[in-house]
Amino acid sequence: MVMSAGGSTTAGAELVTVDMTGRVAVLTMTSAPANALSFELIAALDDAVTSALADRASVLMFTSGLEKFFAAGADLKLLGQASAADFHRYLVTLRSFIERVNQLPQPSIAVIDGMALGGGLELALACTFRIATPRAKLGLPEIKLGLLPGAGGTQRLPRLVGRAVAVDLLVTGRSVDGHEALNIGLVDRLEQPDELAAEATHFAQTLATGAKEAVTAIMRCVDASADLPFAEGMDVEAAQVEQLFATPDAAEGIEAFLEKRDPSFD
């Protein structure tokens, strides 16, 4: 990673830029023409996440500097010449990075204005939130190649939108626009293109200035609700809230409430 003008950093020969605004890291993919998830772009994204965490980012935003794409899937020119061993190595690399995003204790936001297809959508699915525009196109078209999405698409999509909708999207390979994505729960918020950056940044800043340990704990509890039986999930919730009660943020939040002022979290 090297510093560039304006306090941002660049990764992988400027395939990804990282701009810090307060405690929000904006990771912008700039790998023309479509942000295809090549080995190089994956490595640049991984370096960018490492850089953001080193700068103590509280929220990570994934976005694109290209006009028509958030991120396409795999580099098909590369895969067209790949052996089974090459494909396995690529899949392990992609899955490892996307799982890293999914396991981040900090909230992450995919900001989508354009096409998020295949691995690009799998990256977005691994984020905590997805914000899109009406003209966005989201889909997992691997069925059209005789394949299936292998970086979490078959697992995260049904957890997000339900089995019936997920199977429909997976077996047809069709894409949905931003309006349909919002209706089925694939994205969390819909913004107009000229308002997307500002609204996404405002949302990220709201998260970044909140009680960070509580945000992380809430994410752990919600994930437990999907992965554990109810009673075990309740145990996770109890443990997390008791730990939070002993934190400086909780003390500040309670004191601020009693003093009728806004809290100032660390």
Q: Which DSSP state fits 116?
A: E
Q: Hey, what's the torsion of the CAs at 19, 24, 30, 36, to 10 degrees?
A: 150
Contact residues for 57 (Cβ-Cβ < 8 A; gap 6+): 20, 23, 24, 25, 106
Q: Is 195 one of the catalytic residues?
A: no
> What span, in angstroms and rounded, lies between the C-alpha atoms of 175 and 172?
9
User: What does 32-93 look like in DSSP terms, one character per residue?
Assistant: TTT----HHHHHHHHHHHHHHHHTT-SEEEEEESSSSEEE-SS-HHHHTT--HHHHHHHHHH
Q: Tokens standing for 211?
A: 């009680």
Residue found under tokens 């080995």: 39
Q: Is 142 one of the catalytic residues?
A: yes
Catalytic-labelled residue, pool 14, 40, 99, 122: 122
With CA atoms as reference, report the closest residue to 50 among 112, 5, 119, 106. Answer: 106
Amino acid at residue number 102: N
Residues classed as catalytic: 122, 142
